[in-house]
Structure 1
Amino acid sequence: MPRRWFGVLLPLICWLLPQPTLAFSVAFVNPGRHDEPYWLSASQAMQAAARDLDIELEVLYAERDHLKMIDLVRQVTARSQKPDYLIVVNEKLVAPAMLRLANAARLPTLLAYNELSPEQRAEIGRPRRQLRYWLGSLAPDNEQAGYDSLEALIAAARQRGLLNAPAELLMISGDPATPASVERLRGAQQALAAYPQVRLVQVVNGMWQRERAYQQANWLLARHPRTRLIWTANDLMAFGVRQSLQEYGRQPGRDVLIATVNNSQEVMRARIDGEISALSGGHFLTGAWALVMLYDYAHGKDFATEGLELRKPIFGLITPAMAQRYLDKFAGNDFDGIGFRRFSRRLNPTLRHYDFRFQRVLE
Structure 2
Amino acid sequence: MKELAMHRWIAAGLGIVLTLASPALWAAAFHVVFINPGRSDEPFWRSATRFAQPAAEQLGIKLEVLYAERDHLKMIEMVREVCARPQRPDYLLLVNEKLAAGEMLKIAENAGVKSLVVYSGMAESQAAYGKPRQKFRHWLGSVTTNATDAGRLTAEELVRQALQQRIVADDGKVHVAVIAGDKATPTGTQRLQGAVDAFAAQPSVVLEQVVFGNWDQARAAEQAAALLLRYPKLNAFWAASDLMAFGAIDAAEAAGRKAGADLLVSAINNSPPVLQARVQGRIAALAGGHFTTAAWALVMLHDYHHGKDFARDGVEVVLPLFVMFDEERAQRFLTRFGDEDFSGIDFRAFSRHLNPHLRGYQFGLLPALK
TM-score by length of 1: 0.92
**Aligned residue number for residue 24 of structure 2:** none
**Aligned residue number for residue 11 of structure 2:** none
Q: Distance in 2 between matches of 1:267 and 1:361?
A: 20
2:31 is the counterpart of 1:31? no
Q: Distance in 2 between matches of 1:70 and 1:53?
A: 28
**Aligned residue number for residue 105 of structure 1:** 111
User: Offset of 1:229 from its aligned partner?
Assistant: 1.4
CA-based RMSD of the aligned residues comes to 1.3
2:346 is the counterpart of 1:339? yes
**Aligned residue number for residue 141 of structure 2:** 136
User: Offset of 1:189 from its aligned partner?
Assistant: 1.3
User: Offset of 1:284 from its aligned partner?
Assistant: 0.6
Structure 2, unpaired ranges of 5+: 1-26
Q: Distance in 2 between matches of 1:59 and 1:313?
A: 25
Structure 1, unpaired ranges of 5+: 1-20
User: Offset of 1:353 from its aligned partner?
Assistant: 2.2
**Larger displacement relative to structure 2 (176-185 or 297-306):** 297-306
Counterparts of 1:22-61 in structure 2, within 5 Å, are 22-61=28-67
Q: Distance in 2 between matches of 1:256 and 1:321?
A: 22
**Aligned residue number for residue 146 of structure 1:** 151
Once the two structures are superposed, residues 282-315 of structure 1 have per-residue CA deviations (whole angstroms, 9 ceiling, x without a partner) of: 1111111110110111111111011101111111
Q: Which one of the candidate residues 100, 106, 129 is aligned to 1:124?
A: 129
User: Offset of 1:340 from its aligned partner?
Assistant: 1.1
Q: Distance in 2 between matches of 1:203 and 1:362?
A: 35
**Larger displacement relative to structure 2 (189-198 or 58-67):** 189-198
Asked if the contact 2:163/2:174 (under 8 Å) is kept, the reply is no
Asked if the contact 1:325/1:362 (under 8 Å) is kept, the reply is no
Q: Distance in 2 between matches of 1:260 and 1:301?
A: 37
Q: Which one of the candidate residues 347, 351, 356 is aligned to 2:358?
A: 351
TM-score by length of 2: 0.90
Asked if the contact 1:93/1:177 (under 8 Å) is kept, the reply is yes
User: Offset of 1:325 from its aligned partner?
Assistant: 1.2
What SS class does the counterpart of residue 82 from structure 1 fall into?
Answer: coil
Once the two structures are superposed, residues 161-216 of structure 1 have per-residue CA deviations (whole angstroms, 9 ceiling, x without a partner) of: 23581221110000000001000000111212221111101000000000000000
What SS class does the counterpart of residue 273 from structure 2 fall into?
Answer: helix
Seq. identity, %? 49
Q: Which amino acid aligns with 1:194?
A: A
**Aligned residue number for residue 180 of structure 2:** 173
Once the two structures are superposed, residues 68-109 of structure 1 have per-residue CA deviations (whole angstroms, 9 ceiling, x without a partner) of: 100000011001111111111000101010001000011010
**Aligned residue number for residue 305 of structure 2:** 298
User: Offset of 1:44 from its aligned partner?
Assistant: 1.0
User: Offset of 1:226 from its aligned partner?
Assistant: 1.1
Counterparts of 1:57-96 in structure 2, within 5 Å, are 57-96=63-102
Question: Larger helix proportion, structure 1 or 2?
Answer: 1
**Aligned residue number for residue 157 of structure 1:** 162
User: Offset of 1:359 from its aligned partner?
Assistant: 2.0
Q: Tell me how many residue pairs correspond in the alignment.
A: 342
Runs of 4+ in 1 over 4 A off after TM superposition: none
User: Offset of 1:352 from its aligned partner?
Assistant: 2.1
Q: Which one of the candidate residues 311, 314, 325 is aligned to 2:321?
A: 314
What SS class does the counterpart of residue 352 from structure 2 fall into?
Answer: coil
**Aligned residue number for residue 241 of structure 1:** 248
User: Offset of 1:22 from its aligned partner?
Assistant: 4.6
Q: Which amino acid aligns with 2:148?
A: E
What SS class does the counterpart of residue 335 from structure 1 fall into?
Answer: coil
User: Offset of 1:361 from its aligned partner?
Assistant: 2.4
